[in-house]
Structure 1
Amino acid sequence: MEGAAPTDPGGGWRRAVRGAFADLSPLREIPDYRRVWFGSTVSSIGQQMTAVAVSVQVYALTGSSFATGLVGLFSLFPLIAFGLYGGAVADRVDRRLLGLIGSAGLAVVSAVLAVQALTGFDSVALLYAAVAVQAAFFAMSSPARSSMIPRLVPSRQLPAANALNTVSMNLGMTVGPMLGGALIAAYGAQSAYLVDMVAFGATIYAMWRLPAMKPGSAGGGAGAGAGAGKPRASVLDGLRFLREQPNLRTSFLADLAAMIFGLPRALFPAIAVGFYGGGPGTVGLLVAAPAVGALVGALFSGWVSRVRRHGLAILGSVIGWGLSIAAFGLVRELWLGLLMLAAAGCADTISMIFRNTMMQVAAPDEMRGRLQGIFIVVVAGGPRLGDFESGTVAALTSPAVSVVTGGLACVAAILLLAARRPAFLRYDARHPTP
């Protein structure tokens, strides 16, 4: 027909392909968010390099796997204690300033580690102390940085921004250890520490360019005004708020179910030998597989902004995680096992996107810091409890039984949550309620 618009037979296909990939609009349209995202990505890679370097140094000095394992313990307690306290501080002070101080503190710790490596000051106690201080700075500043995102990004773009944040985190978890291992092998541990120290410059610059982020002055979200006017923000207030908000509480419980029952990472060395007849290289593949799956899930997350039933998406994703873990316990081909772990990581990243979005949108601004602090405790403590659960069941039965029953227990816990909180399944992002 004359005057009709020209047809593009491939246009629909191209739009579908573009829609499948992560939505980059927050990066394109919001310079402040773009700088924060880039700084976080570079810093995350550097932090993972430092984590590898510390483990390598401790093992080289002691020859003890137990001493190397203590590195995680020295970081756990500061993460929990300062995560809760940092969340309360973030709800009382300028979050930009807190994020700036935390990033600068982390850079100083990396500088101290670089100096001790360059001078040959061989002290395991210093390495443990540095890890503890590093964890404290991270836990103090992380709630502030996370609670900034709803100020920088419109609510309609929050799912896309959280997907991009997941890409950032998993790039750090995959690229950081590989790059760190290569640098340490070529130039020593000091090279990883120096790169990490310089990398924090990107985050410091991003924080410096932000406007003031005093809590409660903007971006109230659903329930804004809850707790408004209180002269002090306490950790207990955050815990009470979470207890009284069924949707947010259910999202936290869903994550705990996944981490406690469905995370068999403590069994990977035994599984590498018993399932696949492998060694340390196989363990490395098993550790990396969930992060690779999470990265793929985040990269192909263009569809998440079109989902409105966030509660249903969270529970469905955690069920997918549990089923993938149970399947991992049944297969004996390495490539199939890696595929199941990658599928679990992909499901976990989808759950994380919607959980973070719910917390950012449904919670009032003056509570976001404390909720992020509690979130750090869940993220730090849940996997450690999962290590204990899977190790105990494996000792009483076998690694295979522990993995399969853990995955199925995760599914059962989610079905129980769905039965007890049917309103969570109906949660609508267009009308967020905490």
Structure 2
Amino acid sequence: MLIDLAPLRASKPFRRLWFGQVVSIFGGQLAFVAVMFQVWDETKSSAWTGAVGLAQALPLIVLGLFAGAAVDRFERRRFYLITTLGQIFTSALMASQLVIGSVPVGVLLGLVAMQAAFGAAAGPVARSILPQLLPRELLAGGIALNRIAFQGAMLIGPAAGGLIVAAWGPGTAYLIDALTFTAALYGVLGLPLLRVKGDVRPGLRGVVDGLNFVVSTPVIRGALITDLAVTVLSMPISLFPALNAERFGGDPRTLGLFLTSIAVGGVAASVLSGSYTRLPQPGVVMLIGAGSWGIALGLFAFAPTPWIAFAFLAVAGAADTVSVVARSTIVQLHTPNELLGRVAAAEQIVGSAGPNLGNVRGGVTAQLTSPFTALLSGAVLCIAAVVTVAATTPGLRKSVVPSQG
């Protein structure tokens, strides 16, 4: 039942990369809490906190597929290095507020969008190199390890971010984020040359080839549609500042613990990932995880105390991790290497831009109605979407992982 550590022993480049991701994702969580708090502090508007999600989503949507095609055309290690250096530069610009003072919200969102633009290129290459570093039988374990790296950083990062912002302000959180990116650079520099065999048509034609593969492969198409429907309809994070202010006094430490609670459940699900990564039908696992996410958020909407709210968010985090690991396993095992960059870009748009668009939906709905209505309606729509996709996509329900050697 426990997480498989064999990928860390089997591949030194994967081990270095994984360590770098753990450290840099921690810094990213500090920065995220700082951005959300700074935007709310300056505007007191759920629509503006939702706009943070829009600033993160638009670069992924506009650039992601073209970046995926570039990942399949060029040597992947060099491409990954360029995107990592770009993220370091952007984090340093955000940290400059320690010297120049707080920037207007519009400028801050522009920097968030710039960071997301580099992330739009870094995400597909990070996903596509995994099968070049690990044998097929260790892919699911490697994906689960990557997930626990994210959830472990999220477990500590948001709570630490709340304390840092409360004590020293957002600028300090941005500075730490910039420094932690050096660990990501350490991981990338340890990669071997990662060339791709096969010709990729330039420009839009290469992008279309990748999209055609996604659309014509039922198991991948069903997995991405499920995740996109759920995240766009029910992502609650943009509602956290308003819910925190409305119910729990607006303490930034409580805001950080909302995110930490999701991570607690995610870490638990990652530690016990052997219980579901070895199951033969990842599509069924994903559907159960996605539906459980919606149920947990519906219960969170009625939580009367912070600790009960934290408990429901932990259940949601566990369900999300199960769903994400199953989705990524489906994509990695059913995509040829020469298409992985483009398919990984499509997966990133679903996995990253989808939640950001969902945060926009939540923020706008809360502004027009109330945070409670936005949260509960999203949970109900999420459950309805999962049931619909399960009923109309038999290829996802019947997908089977190849036997491990």
Give the TM bin, normalised by the shorter chain: 0.7 to 0.9
By how many angstroms is 1:330 displaced?
4.7
Evaluate the alpha carbon distance shift between residue 139 and residue 69 of structure 1 in structure 2; reply closer, same or farther with a 3 A threshold. Answer: same
Give 1:85's aligned amino acid.
F
Q: Distance in 2 between matches of 1:394 and 1:113?
A: 28
Evaluate the alpha carbon distance shift between residue 404 and residue 122 of structure 1 in structure 2; reply closer, same or farther with a 3 A threshold. Answer: closer
What residue is the counterpart of 2:279 in the other structure?
307
Choose from 374, 382, 386 the match for 1:410. 382
Give 2:250's aligned amino acid.
P
- RMSD over equivalenced CA pairs, Å: 3.1
What residue is the counterpart of 2:350 in the other structure?
378
Q: Distance in 1 between matches of 2:175 and 2:363?
A: 37
Q: Distance in 1 between matches of 2:328 and 2:158?
A: 25
User: Which stretches in structure 1 are left out of the alignment for 5+ residues?
Assistant: 1-19, 217-227
User: Which stretches in structure 2 are left out of the alignment for 5+ residues?
Assistant: none
Highest RCO, 1 vs 2 (Cα 8 Å, sep ≥ 6): 2
Larger radius of gyration: 1
CA contact (8 A) 1:44 1:172 kept: yes
By how many angstroms is 1:385 displaced?
4.0
Q: Please give the secondary structure, in 2, of the residue aligned with 1:234.
A: helix
Q: Deviations over 1:236-282 (max 9, x none)?
A: 222222111111010011112221333344444565577xx422245
By how many angstroms is 1:287 displaced?
4.0
Choose from 293, 314, 323 the match for 2:295. 323
Q: Distance in 1 between matches of 2:40 and 2:289?
A: 38
What residue is the counterpart of 2:149 in the other structure?
168
By how many angstroms is 1:170 displaced?
1.8
What residue is the counterpart of 1:221 in the other structure?
none
Evaluate the alpha carbon distance shift between residue 401 and residue 284 of structure 1 in structure 2; reply closer, same or farther with a 3 A threshold. Answer: same
By how many angstroms is 1:151 displaced?
1.1
Q: Distance in 2 between matches of 1:160 and 1:48?
A: 24
Larger helix percent: 2
Q: Deviations over 1:12-64 (max 9, x none)?
A: xxxxxxxx33221211222111101001111111222233445566677x566
Give 2:351's aligned amino acid.
V
Give 1:45's aligned amino acid.
F
Give 2:387's aligned amino acid.
L
Choose from 109, 113, 117 the match for 1:132. 113
Choose from 366, 382, 386 the match for 2:338. 366
1:346 aligns with 2:318: yes
What residue is the counterpart of 1:280 in the other structure?
250
Q: Distance in 2 between matches of 1:356 and 1:47?
A: 21
TM normalised by structure 2 equals 0.86
1:211 aligns with 2:192: yes
Q: Distance in 2 between matches of 1:357 and 1:28?
A: 20
Choose from 247, 250, 264 the match for 2:222. 250
What residue is the counterpart of 2:18 in the other structure?
37
Evaluate the alpha carbon distance shift between residue 190 and residue 323 of structure 1 in structure 2; reply closer, same or farther with a 3 A threshold. Answer: closer
Q: Distance in 2 between matches of 1:55 and 1:393?
A: 18
Give 1:171's aligned amino acid.
G
Matches within 5 A, 1:282-301: 282-301=254-273
TM normalised by structure 1 equals 0.81
By how many angstroms is 1:412 displaced?
2.9
Q: Distance in 1 between matches of 2:383 and 2:6?
A: 35
Same amino acid, percent of matched pairs: 35
